Amino acid sequence: MRSFQEKPDLGACCSWCERMRALDLFCGAGGLSLGFKMAGFCVTGVDISEAAKKTFELNQIGDFKTVDLSPEMVEGDFDIVLGGPPCKPWATVNTVRRDSRHPDYRLLVSFFEHVELLKPKAFIMENVPALGSTPIFRNMLAKMDQAGYSVRAENIRYSEFGAPTIRRRLIVFGLRKDTE
């Protein structure tokens, strides 16, 4: 596996400050990143999509890196890793290539490999509820426990938090056990 060796250029937002640093893997247009920026974090977004890059930069969320996270790893010093790996392998609307037969299947593992490599204080992952009942997900949670993280996974409905949608999502929160 090739590694993305360049230390992220955190831009004007973070080059001088002592704020917490967030890495958003599979950031897309940057909704999760924007929330963390608004909460005071310095954010680095990572995605393979040029459209995501344009939106991320247009909204001035933070630094953006165009990286294919299937073969590459992002390195750096981050307090929290965020992400929503592609959900197509587990989405209920996908009736053709599910689970390991889907080319995006490996990207879930990539997310957790980043957590193991970077050892952030915490991580948050968002995905479809169906993922929560799969063997690969249970294996990844066990791996995070072995890597020193307390992990909690819950299915939530966004409308219960004020969002104008009834979508349900799986939210996974991990906290490094040595973090006070």
The predicted-structure confidence for 86-113, as pLDDT tens digits, reads as follows 776 666 655 555 555 555 657 888 999 9
Domains and CATH numbers, the chain: 17-176 (3.40.50.150)
Write down the pLDDT at residue 130: 86
Write down the pLDDT at residue 1: 36
One-letter amino acid at 132 equals G
Tens-digit pLDDT profile for residues 158-176: 899 888 988 899 999 999 9
Q: Kindly state the tokens that stand for 34.
A: 């924007």
Write down the pLDDT at residue 179: 84
pLDDT band at 52; cut points 50, 70, 90: very high
Task: Look at residue 128 and tell me whether its pLDDT is greater than 90.
Answer: no
Active site residues: 87
How does 35-64 read in b/e, with b if 16+ C-beta sit within 10 Å?
ebbeeebbbbbbbeeeebbebbeeeebbbb
Residue with the larger pLDDT of the pair 100 and 30: 30
Q: What is the pTM of this model?
A: 0.84
Q: Quote the CA–CA distance of 106 and 136 in Å, as a whole number.
A: 10
Percent of residues, the chain, with pLDDT higher than 90: 59
Q: Quote the CA–CA distance of 29 and 33 in Å, as a whole number.
A: 9
Tens-digit pLDDT profile for residues 17-28: 467 999 999 999
Q: Tell me which H or E stretch contains 34.
A: helix 31-38
Mean pLDDT across 47-69: 93
pLDDT band at 131; cut points 50, 70, 90: confident
The chain-wide mean pLDDT, for the chain, equals 84
